[in-house]
């Protein structure tokens, strides 16, 4: 019997609360609700949500200790995420918690801290169409997909994306306006697995797309903690 994987879907949840912003119509209950709903379509996942304006951003010690994989969406309020919470999330990732960073989360404190780079990129809000190509079709995160995911309207993100070269590059995006982007990037930091997935601008219904949902569910499973050895550091006696 396998235990359910405990997923916490974190969202900044600001755009959606502004009645004049398109996100308030597309995601009236917040993007986290749509992402969580998508994950609940898959068996074996126990999903809860947490948002910026909750106490401790909804990421208390207890929540973090009981999260196997955390997904992260943020955009306009990265700076309001407390450094203390970021340090706790960082420690949990190194200890094995999976982390799925979505779209504008590329500029979150936690992603930049884990990557060590600026994580900067090109962007354009212009209803570009995006075609996400699977370049590593044997990878578990590509399970159940076709050759491409077609998104009729999305924000463009273009290279140079200032990240460490991913350990595995699963997806590359094509944009009508002429750009490409490394859209699905796997990393290991400490014992934790990290996946960055590009699409998901707040002004488009991307998180209702079944293939996007599939990718996030696949990524959550891929990033599940493994019960490997807890590293022992510090002064050590000879083994021989």
Of residues 210-239, which lie at the interface with a copy of itself (CB under 8 A)?
225-239
Query: Is residue 79 at the binding interface for a copy of itself, with CB under 8 A as the rule?
Result: no
Q: Name which of 177 and 205 has its Cβ closer to a copy of itself.
A: 177
Give burial (CB, 10 Å; 0-12/13-18/19+) of 206. Answer: buried
Reduce the secondary structure of 71-140 to three states and give it as a string.
Answer: EEECCCCHHHCCHHHHHHHHHHHHCCCEEEEEHHHHHCHHHHHHHCCCCCCEEEEEEEEEEEEECCCCCH
Task: Print the binding letters for residues 105-124 with a copy of itself: x by CB under 8 A, - otherwise.
Answer: --------xxxxxx-xxxxx
Query: Is residue 41 at the binding interface for a copy of itself, with CB under 8 A as the rule?
Result: no
Q: Name which of 73 and 187 has its Cβ closer to a copy of itself.
A: 187
CB of 3 vs a copy of itself, minimal distance in Å = 14
Among 9, 172, 219, 220, binds a copy of itself (CB under 8 A): 172
| Angle, vertex CA 47, rays to CA 63 and CA 22, nearest 5 | 105
Contact by Cβ (8 Å): 14, 79: no
Number of residues interacting with a copy of itself: please give it, by CB under 8 A.
75
Query: Is residue 145 at the binding interface for a copy of itself, with CB under 8 A as the rule?
Result: yes
């Amino acid at each position: 019997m396998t235990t359910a994987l405990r997923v916490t879907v974190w969202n900044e949840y600001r755009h959606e609360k502004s009645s004049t912003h398109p996100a308030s119509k597309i995601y009236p209950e917040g993007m986290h609700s749509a992402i969580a709903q998508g994950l609940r379509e898959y068996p074996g996942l126990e999903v809860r949500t947490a948002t910026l304006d909750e106490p401790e951003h909804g990421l208390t010690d207890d929540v973090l200790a009981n999260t196997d994989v955390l997904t992260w969406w943020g955009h306009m309020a990265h700076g309001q995420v407390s450094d203390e919470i970021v340090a706790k999330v960082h420690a949990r990732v190194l200890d094995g918690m999976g982390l799925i960073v979505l779209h504008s989360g590329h500029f979150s404190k936690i992603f930049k801290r884990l990557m060590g780079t600026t994580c900067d990129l090109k962007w354009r809000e212009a209803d570009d169409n995006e075609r996400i190509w699977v370049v590593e079709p044997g990878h578990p995160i590509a399970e159940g997909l076709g050759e491409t995911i077609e998104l009729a309207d999305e924000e463009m993100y273009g290279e140079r994306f200032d990240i460490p070269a991913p350990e595995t590059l699963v997806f590359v995006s094509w944009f009508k306006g002429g750009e490409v982007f490394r859209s699905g990037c796997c990393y290991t930091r400490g014992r934790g697995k990290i996946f960055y997935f590009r699409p998901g601008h707040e002004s488009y219904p991307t998180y209702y797309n079944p293939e996007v949902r599939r990718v996030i569910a696949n990524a959550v499973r891929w990033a599940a903690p493994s019960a490997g050895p807890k590293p022992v550091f510090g002064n050590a006696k000879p083994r021989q």
